[in-house]
Amino acid sequence: MSRFASFARPHAGRYGAGLVLLLVTNGLSLWLPWLLRDAIQAMERGVELSVIGGYAAAMTAVACAQAVVRVASRLIVLGASRRIAADVRDRYFDRLLRFGATYYDTHRTGDIMSRGVNDVQLLQSFYGPGLMNLMNTAIVYVAVIVLLLRIDVTLTLISLALFPVLFAAVNRISRSVYARSLAVQEQLAAISDRVQENVSGIQQVKIYVQEEREIEGFRALCAEYRRRNLSMAALRGGMISLIGVVSGVGTLIVLLIGGRFVMQGRIGFGDFVAFNAYLGLLAWPTIALGWIINVFQRGAGAMQRICEVLDERSDVPSPLDAQDDALDAVPIDGDIEVRGLTFSYAGERGQAQLRDVNLRIPRGSRVALVGPVGSGKSTLANLLARFYPVPPGTVFIGGTDINDIPLVRLRRGIGYVPQEAFLFSRSLRENIALGQPTASEDEIARAVEMSHLTSDLAVFPRGLDTTVGERGFTLSGGQRQRTTLARAVIGDRKILILDDSLSSVDADTERAILDQIHRRARDRTLLLISHRMSTLARMDRILVMDRGRIVEDGTHDELMARKGVYEELFLRHELERRLTGS
């Protein structure tokens, strides 16, 4: 409950005003039966018709005032709930941007989206209609019971005798409602994840003619979602029916015993009418109690799922957590040193991706990293950019432990182009200047030229202002890769890491791009991960990795002369190139 209170605390003033208005609207609502009682008693005394008309006018005025105040109370309370939902949504998204790569390696995208959309919506229902009806129910129950006791204590105790049993039963049922509600939310997350995967991978689904299979899989998930929803609905329906039965039995008892009290002269007919009217006012809050409990249980499940994300701590510090520091503006040095680096991904103990790696790359060097698939090349690149936690005392940039370099400064000094070229659904200009939004036209033009995108701009409808499709699918694979390369070379980045990021361009274009980078940025350290062996002869140095270790180190000619792993990789690549004609 402390977490619920922490989200509501900034909006306590609004809830306070809403509570006051709820007190007023319920006071007006409770006044109506009392006016009706007085009117009946006046008619029994045989008063003038004008007096009865006065009561009718008063009741009409009270009803109109109640309607106005009720609308105001709902606007205030429901408005507060929407503000809380916006706050939670902002905090949730902020937390997502602070996580390191490990979190996204182990969590499904659909589940993350479901928590940020569906669960936040359930929280909004909790803070809005849920809390409003809870406050309203509490006010009505307290006020009505006081008024009922004022009319007749015995009749009140008899009419409410079954309510303790009802509350005990509802409390027992609500525990099952919570568990089933959580199961429904988790299944909805699975559906969201399936939709996200199919939309993102729609090309693969169609290429392999898997539409029917995916539809069947989605239908099965929806069937399970329906089953869980019906299970929860059955429980809720039973609870509401139980409440309705108890309320109906109470009303029947009042009619039998209260009618006898009237005939005995113990209470007046006006009191009896008012008593039934007040008891009727308990009908909706009593029935709504089941709905309120359901909203609260679903809200509790949603809060648990959202807080699992909000309370998660990243294994790598986020630049968002960094304090403004003058050092962040100082470019990092391009000198790289790795000392005895051993690394395993989370959850893969005993399966080290890197084993006792040692290397030194002087500033301004052009170094290639090659090796079989799974040899640890990309893992080493990820650690140089500190996407994953780096063991202390193993990786140094400019002689400084990478863990001691402010993350903002490190990331601003590294241009990293991953294997998968990802573009946002924005213009080419915005995608290129993503890491440096204030880049000038000249800087963007230089980056475009270095990545050999200049000729492509002529075919784009609006040049650099052309908006690319989702993930850049309106561009060819080579255009996407060169756009992400332009993004990496813009600005004064001392280290450039290309993780097999030119695989979709031809060998001649790749060589031209690498030569362009070398001519225009001689002081940059270039680390190239590539499976295209024909471009490696131009590199200053080649590191060969196998099973997480650096097994060979030298120039192209030196490694070919050793007749080791590199020569085998090179000859295999040449054979494949001749067979495919590429």
pLDDT of 418-434, one tens digit each? 888 888 888 888 888 88
Is residue 326, in this structure, part of any structural domain at all?
Answer: no
Same domain, 289 and 407: no
Is residue 451, in this structure, part of any structural domain at all?
Answer: yes
**Helix/strand/coil (H/E/C) assignment for every residue in 102-137:** HHHHHCCHHHHHHHHHHHHHHHHHHHHHHHHHHHHH
Residues pairing with 370 in the sheet: 544
Q: Show the CA angle centred on residue 180, arms to residues 81 and 308, nearest 5°.
A: 55
CB 527 within 8 A of CB 498: yes
Choose between 311 and 323: higher pLDDT. 311
Is residue 440, in this structure, part of any structural domain at all?
Answer: yes
Q: What are φ and ψ of residue 423, in 5° steps?
A: -120, 145
Q: What is the mean pLDDT of residues 130-142?
A: 87
Q: What is the pLDDT of residue 252?
A: 80
Same domain, 343 and 476: no
Same domain, 342 and 394: yes
Residue 336: pLDDT band with limits 50, 70, 90? very high
What CATH number is attached to the domain comprising 449? 3.40.50.300
Is residue 320, in this structure, part of any structural domain at all?
Answer: no
Same domain, 421 and 400: no
Same domain, 443 and 457: yes
Q: Residue 9: is it exposed, middle or buried by C-beta count within 10 angstroms (0-12/13-18/19+)?
A: exposed
Same domain, 344 and 429: no
Is residue 368, in this structure, part of any structural domain at all?
Answer: yes
Cα 402 to chain centroid, rounded: 30
Tens digits of residue pLDDT in 222-242: 999 899 888 888 877 777 777
Q: Which domain holds residue 574?
A: 333-413+494-582
Is residue 108, in this structure, part of any structural domain at all?
Answer: yes
Cα 270 to chain centroid, rounded: 57
Is residue 327, in this structure, part of any structural domain at all?
Answer: no
Residue at which a domain ends, from 247, 277, 310: 310
Same domain, 203 and 337: no
Rounded percentage of the chain residues whose pLDDT exceeds 90? 13
> 10 Å Cβ neighbour count for 508?
10
Taking the C-alpha atoms of residue 212 and residue 219, their distance in angstroms, rounded to an integer, is: 10
Cβ neighbours of residue 447 closer than 8 Å, sequence gap 6 or more: 432, 439, 486, 487, 489, 490
Same domain, 241 and 138: yes
Residue 436: pLDDT band with limits 50, 70, 90? confident
Same domain, 149 and 88: yes
Same domain, 277 and 222: yes
Cα 380 to chain centroid, rounded: 29
Same domain, 263 and 341: no
Taking the C-alpha atoms of residue 355 and residue 336, their distance in angstroms, rounded to an integer, is: 18
β-bridge pairing 414-417 and 541-546: unpaired
Instruction: Check whether 490 has a pLDDT greater than 50.
Output: yes
Residue 326: pLDDT band with limits 50, 70, 90? very low
Same domain, 286 and 175: yes
Is residue 318, in this structure, part of any structural domain at all?
Answer: no
**Counted domains in the chain:** 3
Tens digits of residue pLDDT in 277-290: 777 777 677 767 76
Residue at which a domain ends, from 460, 491, 522: 491
Taking the C-alpha atoms of residue 140 and residue 285, their distance in angstroms, rounded to an integer, is: 8
